[in-house]
């Protein structure tokens, strides 16, 4: 054996291990903040140690052989090559270990499947590339529904500014939940398969179009818990995080009441008189948030994949066609969703106004929220 090379290799490996040890690293699963997450952590550690013990035994025997049974040490090969007793032993013993772990896992799994008897229900819908949360129950006119999108600025992603502490794990509007209550989730998707995961709650469920899935949680401690989408869903799969803000009951109630007031206020905003500048300002930020992922910040799209809006037939043509495609989506390409179902009239009016006037498009057209309302009402 080339010992020099071997030694150098070992040195490199040791250096890497040392780097590993010193770097600020989270190396294990979180215990989390729910009873279930703690049970899951316990199962994880149990099976982990079982594997470590088996590994030490097996690799230990092998290591012993490698040292003591070398030909260069004068070892002469024995000639035993079968034993029914031994085969039975190392079939039955591992089977017992495995069954024991399975038995313990059964009870945790049963609890994870007990969705019923909850105190509230939250509807979670996955979109490309954001989540929509809806608090079910109560008066339909006051139902709090909102989208939750990545809030990390593009500049950080492109390396133009330093990355924040919660880089890629921050959203504009977190899911706010009360602690100490059983919360049921009903989960689905509006386009492709996504998956909603918050490690500290140990909740992960796929969001599948056309199908409703259930899950539940009961959060023990207030705090902020961050997760990510865990099913490949297209280009921004890595950019649709989840943030759960768990509040004590009283604070949650206050928050929810305030949100309901906001919902009513939005209806009023729709009727207000908007100026060109106000629409352009809101339009730019709404465009960046909702449209730039595909059509790009400068409106140039991606050749062959996402059409350009700068100088485009839609942005320069009849206003009605432009409203149609934003509200109803594209007939030919499922990737252009029907934003009428996702955005408020205020946002859509602002975005369309912006698209018709930015990047040199300069049509001078102004589309107000009332225009959108009227369009929807069919006038």
Q: Which residues in the 34-53 window bind another protein by CB under 8 A?
A: 39-40, 43-44, 47-48, 51
Stretch that binds another protein, among 22-30, 174-182, 245-253, 269-277 (CB under 8 A): 22-30
The whole-angstrom distance between residue 249's C-alpha and the CA centroid of its chain comes to: 25
By C-beta, is 58 or 281 nearer to another protein?
A: 58
By CB under 8 A, the count of residues binding another protein is 143
Q: For another protein, which is the closer residue by CB, 76 or 250? A: 76
Q: Is 199 in the site for another protein (CB under 8 A)?
A: yes
Of 98-106, 243-251, 266-274, 282-290, which segment contacts another protein by CB under 8 A? 98-106
Instruction: Decide: is 85 part of the binding site for another protein (CB under 8 A).
Output: no
Of residues 351, 350, 326, 352, the one with CA closest to residue 339:
326
* Residue nearer to another protein on the CB measure, 125 or 357: 125
**287 CB-near residues (< 8 Å, 6+ apart):** 351, 354, 355, 358
Task: Report if residue 377 touches another protein, rule: CB under 8 A.
Answer: yes
DSSP per residue, 155-218: HHHTTSSPPPTTTTS-BSSPEEEESSSEEEEEEEESSS-EEEEEGGGTEEEEE-BT--EEEEEE
Look at residue 216 and give its three-state secondary structure: strand
Please report whether residue 364 would count as binding another protein according to CB under 8 A. Answer: no
Chain positions 150 to 169 lying near another protein, rule: CB under 8 A, are 156-159, 163, 165-169
Residue nearer to another protein on the CB measure, 337 or 357: 337
28 binds another protein (CB under 8 A): yes
229 binds another protein (CB under 8 A): yes
Contact call for residue 275 and another protein (CB under 8 A): no
As a whole number of angstroms, the distance between CA 236 and CA 265 comes to 32
Residue 273 binds another protein, judged by CB under 8 A: no
Q: Which of 18, 56, 65, 276 is close enough to bind another protein by CB under 8 A?
A: 65
Nearer to another protein, 208 or 297 (CB): 208
Q: How far is CA 365 from CA 12, 291, 317, 342, 349, in A?
A: 65, 19, 11, 23, 11
What does the block give as tokens for 103? 């038995």
| Residue 215 burial by Cβ neighbours in a 10 Å radius (0-12, 13-18, 19+) | buried
Closest by Cα among 325, 335, 337, 338 to 304: 335
- Of 287-306, binders to another protein (CB under 8 A) are 302, 304-305
Decide: is 344 part of the binding site for another protein (CB under 8 A).
Answer: no
Q: 350 by DSSP, 3-state: which?
A: helix
């Amino acid at each position: 054996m080339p010992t020099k090379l071997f030694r150098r290799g070992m040195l490199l490996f040791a250096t890497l291990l040392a780097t590993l040890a010193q770097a600020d690293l989270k190396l294990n699963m979180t215990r989390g903040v729910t009873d279930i997450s703690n049970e899951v952590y316990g199962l994880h550690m149990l099976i982990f140690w079982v594997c470590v013990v088996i590994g030490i035994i097996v690799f230990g025997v092998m290591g012993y052989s490698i040292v003591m049974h070398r030909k260069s040490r004068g070892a002469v090969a024995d000639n035993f090559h079968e034993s029914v007793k031994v085969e039975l032993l190392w079939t039955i013993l591992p089977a017992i270990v495995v069954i024991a772990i399975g038995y313990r896992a059964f009870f945790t799994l049963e609890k994870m499947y007990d969705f019923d008897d909850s105190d509230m229900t939250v509807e979670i819908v996955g979109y490309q590339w954001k989540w929509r949360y809806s608090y079910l129950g109560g008066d339909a006119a006051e139902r709090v529904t909102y989208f939750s999108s990545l809030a990390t600025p593009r500049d950080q992603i492109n390396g133009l500014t330093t990355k924040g502490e919660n880089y890629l794990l921050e959203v504009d509007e977190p899911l706010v939940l009360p602690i100490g209550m059983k919360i049921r989730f009903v989960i689905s998707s509006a386009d492709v398969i996504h998956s909603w995961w918050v490690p500290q709650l140990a909740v992960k469920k796929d969001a599948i179009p056309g199908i409703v899935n259930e899950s539940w949680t009961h959060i023990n401690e207030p705090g902020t818990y961050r997760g990510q989408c865990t099913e490949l869903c297209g280009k921004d799969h890595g950019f649709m995080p989840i943030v759960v803000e768990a509040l004590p009951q009283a604070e949650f109630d206050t928050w929810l009441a305030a949100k309901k007031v906001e919902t009513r206020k939005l209806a009023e905003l729709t009727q207000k008189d908007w100026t060109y500048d106000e629409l352009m300002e809101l339009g730019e930020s709404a465009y960046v948030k909702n449209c730039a992922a595909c059509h790009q910040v400068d409106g140039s799209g991606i050749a062959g994949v996402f059409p350009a809006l700068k100088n485009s037939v839609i942005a320069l043509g009849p206003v009605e066609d432009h409203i149609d495609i934003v509200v109803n989506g594209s007939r030919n390409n499922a990737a252009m969703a029907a934003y009428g179902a996702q955005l408020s009239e205020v946002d859509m009016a602002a975005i369309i106004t912006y698209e018709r006037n930015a990047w040199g498009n300069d049509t001078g057209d102004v589309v107000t929220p009332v225009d959108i309302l009227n369009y929807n009402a069919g006038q």
